[in-house]
């Protein structure tokens, strides 16, 4: 079973090295790693090229957007299993091993697992929250399993069928879109709790306005696919999260110093923002 991993990247010079370090140091080596440079204007491609001797291949997609970059990577990957993570993902050392275990079941077409924020405090709480909001809530709303774009994989054979059904975007959650089409095609999505891939908290460390713009894509994706009840539910969860959870989480992230692993009152009161420390391209 050959495993390829696709990493779409746009202006990710601050994150891509850590991401690739985690991939090339797997307990069970990954067979192929494709970094899809999506018109970066920084050193993303240059940094990724340094990993060529570790099985990393840099390809370029000129059509801007996560979905074109993802599609290009999946199309060019040669593995039997096509993993997909973000450039700020840092997979656990046994990630590829857990991936192989998940696909040992020949009925599984796609697999996904949980994440937490490596640059935020309370890792166990973050893991529980991610399980709840990204997997269980979505499953409750839609009636079928989800995929988590920062930590997912599917078979090459499945992608070849799914490729012609997946929506082109751009204003959708691409992982939710894939999950919906997999369900409609009768494909089995397996949730593997031990398939874990920590990610950055930089998106929720940004402004309320930016987070709202990002999350509104959640219910829009459901609405686009005709799932009106799910869209209403997603909108309600989004508003509740922004009103009741975001203020306290934003303060905690502003005060957190990842290098020291502690909360700092001085950092909380400083003028520099967490959003500046965790830029989103």
Measured torsion, CA atoms of residues 145, 148, 152, 156, in degrees rounded to the nearest 10 = 70
How far apart are alpha carbons 201 and 25 in whole angstroms?
23
Determine the pLDDT at residue 272: 55
Mean pLDDT of 51-62: 97
Determine the pLDDT at residue 268: 76
The answer to whether 9 and 16 are in contact (CB under 8 A) is: yes
> Distance between the two ends of the chain, CA-based, in angstroms?
34
How far apart are alpha carbons 96 and 102 in whole angstroms?
10
Tell me the pLDDT tens digit for each residue of 173-198: 999 999 999 999 999 999 999 999 99
Backbone angles phi, psi at 134, to 5 degrees: -90, -25
281 pLDDT band (50/70/90 cuts)?
A: very low
How far apart are alpha carbons 215 and 212 in whole angstroms?
5
Report DSSP state, residue 77.
-
Backbone angles phi, psi at 32, to 5 degrees: -155, 135
The answer to whether 148 and 189 are in contact (CB under 8 A) is: no
Tell me the pLDDT tens digit for each residue of 127-184: 999 999 999 999 999 999 999 999 999 999 999 999 999 999 889 999 999 999 999 9
Residue among 16, 20, 62, 56 at smallest CA distance from 38: 62
Task: Judge if the upstream peptide bond of residue 170 is cis by omega within 30 degrees of 0.
Answer: yes
The answer to whether 123 and 115 are in contact (CB under 8 A) is: no
Check whether 280 has a pLDDT greater than 60. Answer: no
* pTM for the whole structure: 0.93
């Amino acid at each position: 079973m050959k495993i390829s991993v696709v990493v779409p990247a746009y202006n990710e010079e601050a994150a891509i090295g850590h991401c690739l370090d985690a991939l090339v140091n797997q307990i069970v080596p990954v067979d192929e790693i494709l970094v899809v440079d999506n018109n970066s204007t920084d050193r993303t491609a240059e940094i990724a090229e340094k990993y060529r001797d570790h099985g990393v291949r840099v390809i370029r997609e000129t059509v801007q957007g996560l979905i074109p970059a993802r599609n290009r990577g999946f199309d060019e990957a040669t593995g039997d299993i096509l993993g997909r993570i973000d450039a700020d993902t840092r997979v656990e050392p046994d990630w590829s091993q857990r991936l192989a275990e998940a696909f040992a079941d020949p009925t599984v077409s796609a697999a996904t697992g949980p994440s937490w924020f490596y640059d935020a405090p309370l890792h166990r709480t973050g893991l529980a929250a991610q399980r709840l909001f990204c997997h269980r809530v979505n499953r409750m709303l839609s009636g079928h399993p989800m995929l988590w774009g920062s930590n997912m994989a599917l078979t090459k054979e499945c992608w070849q069928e799914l490729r012609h059904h997946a929506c082109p975007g751009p204003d959708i959650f691409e992982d939710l879109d894939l999950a919906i089409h997999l369900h409609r095609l009768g494909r089995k999505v397996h949730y593997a709790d031990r398939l874990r891939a920590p990610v950055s908290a930089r998106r929720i460390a940004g402004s309320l306005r930016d987070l709202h713009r990002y999350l509104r894509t959640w219910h829009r994706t459901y609405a686009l696919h005709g799932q009106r009840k799910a869209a209403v539910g997603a909108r309600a969860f989004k508003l509740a999260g922004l009103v009741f959870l975001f203020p306290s989480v934003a303060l905690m992230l502003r005060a957190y110093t990842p290098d020291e692993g502690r909360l700092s009152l001085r950092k909380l009161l400083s003028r520099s923002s967490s959003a500046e420390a965790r830029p989103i391209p």
